[in-house]
Structure 1
Amino acid sequence: MTALSWIDTHIHLDQYSDADVRSIIRELPRYGLDTLIAVSMNRESCQRTESLARTYPGIVKPAYGYHPEQPLPNSQQTGALLQWIETRISEAVAVGEIGLPYYRRQELAAEGYALDEQGYIDLLDQHLRLAKRYDKPVVLHAVYDDADTVCDLLEQHNITRAHFHWFKGSVAQIHRLAQSGYYISFTPDIVYESDIRELAALYPRELVMTETDGPWPFEGPFAGKSTTPAMVVDVCRAWAHIQRLDVSDAAALLYGNARRFYRI
């Protein structure tokens, strides 16, 4: 039987301890994993991601950007971050994680505060301009209603290589993403979340990838367990069952999708 190969297309590797990173990297061959797409949160996160990519070349593929579920940086901080990314853009496989702050908006609203919507849109727009300038794909955090705003911006910039990680949205939004040829990725919650399983049944096979979003913790059979890239094997098995595919065929398809999207 041919050995199966896997890629974790979305992991916050910089958020693990040095010891945990060493353990993760050491265990990758055991599970057939050969690539980690390591996304970033901010300037400090980008710097650690860069260091990890240089420590583990060929395995850790860095993506640089500012995650939206945190306070807006000021203009000086934004300019410094974008300049930092631009000087290293040839090393990056993507710009990300970027997007809009759906959950932060809900939290602030519950506390009686309004979110600076335009500020976050402007921040995203600047990252998209950078990605377009250097023909880099984008890794997106954009769920529910935010997906429509992000799709509008992608169309304005004529960006076609977009990866919506851990996507959640309406049937209409699902169809819009699929028709645009945007990719989505599934986390371990595909094993136990009914709405995610329904999405997995609908989305085109050729536009799907695997991820963990580690170290984010999961529930169901993963409750109490540390999230590691090996969990993409569980993601693939669940997706294969939903798609009525053999696991080996599903693995080859998901692996090929990731390599094609990220050009790795």
Structure 2
Amino acid sequence: MITDIHCHLESVAPESLASFIAAGNKIGAVSMTLESAQQLITLKQQYPDAIALFLGVHPEVSADEAMIEAMIALIHQHHGLLSGIGEIGIPFFYLDDKTVIEKQQLKQQGAQLMARFVALAAEYDLPVNLHVVEDDIELVLPILQQYGIEGALFHWYEGSAIQLAQLHQCGHFISASPWIFVDDHYWQFVQTIPLSMLLVESDAPCKYNGEKGDPSMTVNVVSALAKHHQISIEQLTNILAANTCRYLRKSL
């Protein structure tokens, strides 16, 4: 069994979802907007045992206060269905054309918004699924500490050896994506992630070399990682399953 711990499931073809689940696998479904959250709730109700549902507002999305408040209300309404809060975090990619001062201001605003959702995670004792890039962990770690959030997932994270050690010391997790087959620098980083903090993801429908992402791609990620660590696929699958249980704080 493999858990694709970070997937935008509402954008995955129904037949791909059904096939992946039929093979005994599970999916961590993260929302981006209110619309995607509502779609994911429907899918969770359809596949209650196979989907771990995360609700939140993606930091790269332009969200007004009405959407934010509606998402918070949705989390309160459906907290019993949730496995966690996400995708939340700090904006990064849409800030490319901003000045240094503008970036700092927007990141601070993003951190304030993230804190509102982390507070909900603390209220319901749920893990968080995070969009955080490189140095932005310095904005995020104090928020997690403030609300007592342990074992957060930094999805598709890549940073320095020092930053990796920092996340490891704090007991957080990192999920590796199929980007390992596209970017050698990222693959080199993933090879250094301690197995005790490793999870896998597709981030579907993100494209890899022009191919639309799919949960089934996590199978190849697991195979490549097992080969690198010179252990069997079964051994690594068991390690990942144990890590996923620790992250979700429940058995699979």
Is TM (by shorter chain) over 0.5?
Answer: yes
Counterpart-to-counterpart distance in 2, 1:168 and 1:225: 22
Counterpart-to-counterpart distance in 2, 1:184 and 1:87: 29
What is the match of residue 208 of structure 1? Answer: 198
Deviations 1:119-171 (A, max 9, x none): 21111010010101111000000011112211121112221020010001122
Aligned residues between the structures: 249
- Greater shift, 188-197 or 243-252, is seen at 188-197
The percent identity for this pair of structures is 28
Counterpart-to-counterpart distance in 2, 1:77 and 1:188: 31
Where in structure 2 are the equivalents of 1:61-210 lying within 5 Å?
61-74=52-65, 76-109=66-99, 116-210=106-200
Where in structure 2 are the equivalents of 1:40-55 lying within 5 Å?
40-55=31-46
Counterpart-to-counterpart distance in 2, 1:201 and 1:117: 29
Counterpart-to-counterpart distance in 2, 1:161 and 1:178: 9
Counterpart-to-counterpart distance in 2, 1:104 and 1:227: 21
Q: Are the counterparts in 2 of residues 185 and 211 from structure 1 also a CA contact under 8 Å? A: yes
What is the match of residue 14 of structure 1? Answer: 10
Q: Are the counterparts in 1 of residues 17 and 215 from structure 2 also a CA contact under 8 Å? A: no
What is the match of residue 20 of structure 2? Answer: 28
Normalization by structure 2: what TM-score?
0.92
Counterpart-to-counterpart distance in 1, 2:21 and 2:52: 16
Using the TM superposition, give the Cα deviation of residue 72 of structure 1 relative to its aligned residue in structure 2, in angstroms.
3.8
What is the match of residue 247 of structure 2? Answer: 261
Tell me the secondary structure at the aligned position of residue 93 of structure 1: strand
Q: Structure 2: which 5+ residue stretches go unaligned?
A: none
Using the TM superposition, give the Cα deviation of residue 113 of structure 1 relative to its aligned residue in structure 2, in angstroms.
6.2
Compute the RMSD of aligned alpha carbons.
Answer: 1.9
Match for 2:56: what amino acid?
Answer: G
Tell me the secondary structure at the aligned position of residue 174 of structure 2: strand
Q: Are the counterparts in 2 of residues 38 and 63 from structure 1 also a CA contact under 8 Å? A: yes
Counterpart-to-counterpart distance in 1, 2:230 and 2:18: 32
Q: Are the counterparts in 1 of residues 182 and 208 from structure 2 also a CA contact under 8 Å? A: no
What is the match of residue 217 of structure 2? Answer: 231
Normalization by structure 1: what TM-score?
0.88
Tell me the secondary structure at the aligned position of residue 175 of structure 1: helix
Structure 1 runs, 4 residues or longer, greater than 6 Å off: none
Tell me the secondary structure at the aligned position of residue 207 of structure 2: coil
Tell me the secondary structure at the aligned position of residue 6 of structure 2: strand
